[in-house]
Structures are given as structure tokens and as C-alpha cells.
């Protein structure tokens, strides 16, 4: 595996003072590829009948762990070139070990793949990964004919003991804790003997756009998928074809930069944005618009302009739950209160994000309350101070956004941004100082 900088769980803490903006930002950025697109493209490529390429993939901790996990099971991965990764499918077999790090994608997408391998594949990750929801996937795999040995309490560590084939069939799952529990089953399902029928029963599945992305990418790889009935997904058995995947820039990673345009009354353009995207750009456009920004797609890219006044909003963030930290920081700097709902499940993300956001912003003087499924924010002046990131890249994004307007916000550790964007601190400082 090509070195990717300091991406291990044992990386030393890297304190960082969030830079304050003295002028409106004016930046044109080329940001790394989407984590979610890269993860899916890697899995589908490893399960295909022929080779695939990924153009402009994301090189970050989560995606190198995904490539490493697939490689451990036998797939051939050439990922030294930043612009183009090559995946050659190969017979999948254990014994193998998959380090999931803290990546939800790796811990939910690869156990179903391991069911297709011959032999034992063990899974474990960072200490906090052991607390992230996995039980419904383990149960579903059992129903579909995959042996999963679990030593913990419905979570990591676990071992999948495969015999090279998965019977598949119908399964009922409560995926309210994470859309990834469904995506993981669907991505491997074309290779199951009978495909899969996944039926969700329970509170709403969050992050619906990520499920649409899974379905679109499966279809692009040649799978027959029916998602016409709400909460039911049918994947027919059949071959997946190798292909060239064009990875779009990461929209979620771009959001803190866009937020900077709103906070400072500046303008940020994300270069290389496609005319048609599988990421939830319309939902983001509506949210940023209601918070006082203007989002346009031009020949130079996706541009966000701000006025310097941020408006508070009331919004259900279920579709874009991973944006909650950056939007919370924006809401802290708004001219009126905000109420965010629909994101109870982010208590099971890299950290309990609702608790962590409430605690850390309260430490800077904020008036914020947690609800079971969201946050209520009543803006008032913040002060500098220590902001703990809990190994969560998006906590670092939130602190960076607030730091634009509040001098002296000291992150205990910014190295957590290596999960999805190792270059975040440099890109961010470059944007604020105008050196991008």
C-alpha cells in the first residue's frame, strides 16, 4: 500500500489553532474525491468480472483501509498513482484480517464481501469502532446464510467464516442506525446465489441520498436493482462488470469551505464539479440558501457566495446527517436561532456528535441544547478556548468554521481530518490566508 501520510490510529495528537478570517475568503479549490463514491467503486470493482479503474479517487484513511481490506481478501489493488487506481478482481479467500479503522463504510461494506470469500476473515478497528452499530448487519448476514462469529456484543471484533458462496434471499433489517447497514448488503448482493430482498422495518433509515448512490452505482456496474417500494431493495443475482469510475469531488468535505463563504461574506468555488452528480447537491443548495448563501453551478465549478450574515434555520438534516457538525458551527454564528432534527443516529457516528457538539460549543460560551434527535442553537457571542475533536474529522471541520469568526479556538487534535481529507489543515489555512 502506498504511504498516505500519517493515517494510523496511533498518530500523535496534532494541536491546531483555527485561523481567524480578517477578510472575506475568495478561493477556488480542487478538493479530493468523494469518500462514499471511492468506497463503493472499490467494492464493486473487487466483485466484478474484469478490471476497473477509479479516476481521481480519495486517498485518505477510510479509503486506503477499504483498499487494504479488499487486498487482504485477495483483490489486486494498484493505488500508488493519485490520479488513477486500478483494481483487478481475484478469488477472495481467507485467512485475512481487515482493519476497519473508524470507517463506517469499511465495517459495514466488507463483512458481506467476506461472506463470498473462502476461509476466515476477521474484522476489528479503532477502540471507538467497537461501539458503532453493527448488530443488524450481523443478524442479516446470518439470515442470508453467512456464518459470523462475534465475540463482542453485536459489534466488532468479529469473524466471517465463508465457503466461497452466499445463498442470499430475503431479509428484514432495522437500518435506522445507519444507511450503511443496507448499502453493505446491496453492494455484495449481485454475487449472492439468489441476490437479496432487503426490507427495512423500524424508525426511518437516515442518509437516503447515500442509498440512492448505492443503487445508482450498482446499476452502473450492470446489476438489476429495484428500489421502487419504500424501504425495500431488491438486487437480482448476476455479474458485475469492470468499468472506469469517475470519482466526483467530495461534497461533504467541501461544506466547511462553503460555510466559510457564508461566515465571511466571501466566495468559494469547488472546481471539477460535474454537471450531473450522485451526491445530494440540491439538498445542500437549499440548506445553504436558507442560511443566507447563494449556490450556483458555472463552467468553473460549484460556487457558493455569502453576504456575511448567516440566518438561523429549522431543518430536518436526516438526508445530509454527516453535515450536521459544519452546519452547527454556521448556526452558532447566525443572526437567529436554529433547530436541527432528524439526526439521532449521529450519536453512533465517529463520536456521539450531538453530545460532542453541544459540549464543545458550550465550552466556548454557546447556548445550545441537545434533543434526542438534534440540536437547538441560540446564537450569542463565543470566546476562544480548547475544542476537543474526539478523533472525529467533522468535529474539526466545525471548529474550523467557528474559528473564522472567533479568535483562539484551539483544537486538541486536527490529525483526525486524515480520515477523509489529510490535506484539510493546509487547504483551510491557504483559503483563509488567500494563498490557495
Ligand X SMILES: O=C(O)C1=C[C@@H](OP(=O)(O)O)[C@@H](O)[C@H](O)C1
Ligand Y SMILES: C=C(OP(=O)(O)O)C(=O)O
Catalytic residues: 322
Q: Are 252 and 235 in contact (CB under 8 A)?
A: no
Which residue lies nearer to ligand X by CB, 183 or 328? 183
How many other C-beta atoms can be found within 10 angstroms of the C-beta atom of residue 173? Answer: 20
| Residue 394 binding partner per list ligand Y, ligand X, none, with a CB distance cut-off of 5 to 8 Å that depends on partner kind | ligand Y
Q: How far is CA 254 from the centre of its chain?
A: 12
| Number of residues counted as binding ligand X (CB under 6 A) | 13
SS3 67: helix
Beta strand residue intervals within 133-218, DSSP E: 147-150, 158-163, 169-173, 196-200
**Near ligand Y by CB under 6 A: residue from 92, 103, 158, 329:** 103
Helices (H), 177-250: 180-188, 208-220
Q: Applying CB under 6 A, does 179 fall inside the site for ligand X?
A: yes
Q: Applying CB under 6 A, does 321 fall inside the site for ligand X?
A: yes
Minimum gap (Å) between residue 405 Cβ and ligand X: 26
The contact pattern for ligand Y, residues 300-329, with x = CB under 6 A and - = no contact, is: ----------------------x-------
Q: Applying CB under 6 A, does 180 fall inside the site for ligand X?
A: yes
| Residue 38 binding partner per list ligand Y, ligand X, none, with a CB distance cut-off of 5 to 8 Å that depends on partner kind | none
Where in 85-144 is the site for ligand X (CB under 6 A)?
A: 104-105
**Which residue, 62, 1, 180, 20, is CA-closest to 417?**
62
Q: Applying CB under 6 A, does 140 fall inside the site for ligand Y?
A: no
Q: Are 261 and 404 in contact (CB under 8 A)?
A: no
What residues does 169 pair with on adjacent strands? 196
**Near ligand Y by CB under 6 A: residue from 59, 200, 210, 394:** 394
Q: Which residue is nearest to ligand Y (CB)?
A: 104
**Near ligand Y by CB under 6 A: residue from 105, 176, 318, 415:** 105
- Ligand-binding annotation for 207, yes or no, is yes
SS3 318: helix
Q: Which span sits near ligand X by CB under 6 A: 173-181, 218-226, 233-241, 266-274? A: 173-181
Q: Applying CB under 6 A, does 319 fall inside the site for ligand X?
A: no
What residues does 404 pair with on adjacent strands? none
Q: Are 365 and 381 in contact (CB under 8 A)?
A: yes
Distance separating alpha carbons of residues 242 and 220, to the nearest angstrom: 10
Q: Applying CB under 6 A, does 38 fall inside the site for ligand X?
A: no
Q: How far is CA 416 from the centre of its chain?
A: 14
Binding residues for phosphoenolpyruvate: 35, 104, 132, 180, 353, 394, 419
Q: Which residues bind ligand Y (CB under 6 A)?
A: 103-105, 322, 349-350, 394, 420
Amino acid at each position: 500500500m502506498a504511504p498516505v501520510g500519517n493515517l494510523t490510529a496511533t498518530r500523535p495528537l496534532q494541536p491546531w489553532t483555527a485561523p481567524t478570517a480578517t477578510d472575506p475568503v475568495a478561493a477556488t479549490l480542487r478538493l479530493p474525491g468523494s469518500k462514499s463514491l471511492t468506497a463503493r467503486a472499490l467494492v464493486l470493482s473487487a466483485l466484478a468480472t474484469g478490471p476497473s479503474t477509479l479516476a481521481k479517487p480519495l486517498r485518505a484513511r477510510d479509503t486506503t483501509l477499504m483498499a487494504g481490506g479488499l487486498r487482504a481478501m485477495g483483490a489486486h489493488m494498484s493505488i500508488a498513482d493519485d490520479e488513477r487506481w486500478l483494481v483487478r478482481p481475484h478469488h477472495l479467500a481467507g485467512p485475512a484480517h481487515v482493519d476497519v479503522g473508524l470507517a463506517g463504510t469499511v465495517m459495514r461494506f466488507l463483512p458481506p464481501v467476506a461472506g463470498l470469500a473462502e476461509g476466515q476473515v476477521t474484522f476489528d478497528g479503532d477502540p471507538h469502532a467497537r461501539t458503532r452499530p453493527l448488530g443488524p448487519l450481523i443478524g442479516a448476514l446470518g439470515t442470508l446464510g453467512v456464518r459470523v462469529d462475534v465475540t463482542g456484543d453485536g459489534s466488532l471484533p468479529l469473524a466471517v467464516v465463508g465457503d466461497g458462496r452466499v445463498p442470499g434471499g430475503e431479509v428484514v433489517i432495522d437500518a435506522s442506525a445507519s444507511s450503511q447497514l443496507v448499502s453493505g448488503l446491496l453492494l455484495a448482493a449481485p454475487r449472492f446465489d439468489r441476490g437479496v430482498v432487503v426490507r427495512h422495518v423500524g424508525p426511518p433509515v437516515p442518509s437516503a441520498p447515500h442509498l440512492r448512490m448505492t443503487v445508482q452505482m450498482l446499476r452502473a456496474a450492470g446489476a438489476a436493482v429495484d428500489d421502487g417500494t419504500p424501504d425495500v431493495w431488491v438486487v437480482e443475482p448476476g455479474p458485475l462488470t469492470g468499468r472506469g469510475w469517475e470519482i466526483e469531488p467530495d461534497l461533504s468535505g467541501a461544506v466547511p469551505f462553503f460555510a466559510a463563504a457564508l461566515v465571511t461574506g466571501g466566495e468559494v468555488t469547488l472546481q471539477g464539479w460535474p454537471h450531473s452528480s450522485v451526491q445530494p447537491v440540491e439538498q445542500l443548495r437549499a440548506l445553504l440558501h436558507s442560511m443566507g448563501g447563494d449556490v450556483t453551478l458555472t463552467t468553473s465549478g460549484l460556487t457558493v457566495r455569502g453576504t456575511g450574515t448567516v440566518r438561523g434555520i429549522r431543518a430536518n438534516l436526516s438526508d445530509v446527517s454527516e453535515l450536521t457538525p459544519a452546519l452547527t458551527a454556521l448556526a452558532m454564528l447566525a443572526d437567529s436561532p436554529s433547530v436541527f432534527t432528524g439526526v439521532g443516529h449521529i450519536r453512533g457516528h465517529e463520536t456521539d456528535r450531538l453530545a460532542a457538539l453541544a459540549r464543545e460549543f458550550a465550552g466556548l460560551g454557546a447556548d445550545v441544547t441537545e434533543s434526542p434527535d438534534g440540536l437547538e442553537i441560540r446564537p450569542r457571542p463565543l470566546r476562544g478556548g480548547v475544542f476537543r475533536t474526539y478523533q472525529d474529522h467533522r468535529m474539526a471541520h466545525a471548529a474550523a468554521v467557528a474559528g473564522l469568526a472567533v479568535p483562539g479556538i484551539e483544537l486538541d487534535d486536527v490529525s483526525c481530518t486524515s480520515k477523509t481529507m489529510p490535506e484539510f489543515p493546509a487547504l483551510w489555512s491557504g483559503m483563509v490566508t488567500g494563498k490557495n
